């Protein structure tokens, strides 16, 4: 079963290109760590820049981005702890 086949995540509506991008980024995260994988993604897809690639490449990039979001390190700080830190 694919990682995105978890109920509620809509894996059946994901394109094969999206899933390939997701899997590729998951492998990068495993191999290089989350921060390095994110930095490589942002270098290839600068935040705020308009998309100039193909629709196929966009689906792949969206899969990569979703893998980053799904594995993003989280903290358990409350908002007041962040403000007062």
Quick: pLDDT tens for 20-65. Answer: 999 999 999 999 999 999 999 999 999 999 999 999 999 999 999 9
CA distance 26 to 4: 12
CA distance 22 to 85: 35
pLDDT at 14 (0 to 100) = 87
The whole-model pTM stands at: 0.75
Backbone φ/ψ region at 39: left (φ over 0), alpha (ψ -120 to 50), beta = alpha
pLDDT at 50 (0 to 100) = 95
**Whether the Cβ atoms of residue 25 and residue 67 lie closer than 8 Å to each other:** yes
* Cα-based angle 66, 31, 51 (whole degrees, multiple of 5): 35
- Does pLDDT of 70 surpass 90? yes
pLDDT at 62 (0 to 100) = 95
- Does pLDDT of 82 surpass 80? no
Tokens at residue 32, please? Answer: 């290089």
């Amino acid at each position: 079963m694919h990682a995105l086949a978890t109920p509620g995540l809509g894996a059946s509506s994901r394109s094969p290109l999206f899933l390939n991008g997701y899997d590729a980024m998951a492998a990068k995260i495993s191999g290089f760590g989350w921060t390095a994988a994110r930095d490589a993604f942002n270098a290839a897809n600068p935040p705020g820049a308009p998309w100039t690639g193909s629709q196929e490449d966009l689906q792949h990039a969206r899969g990569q981005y979703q893998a980053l979001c799904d594995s993003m390190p989280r903290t358990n700080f409350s908002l007041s702890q962040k403000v007062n830190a």
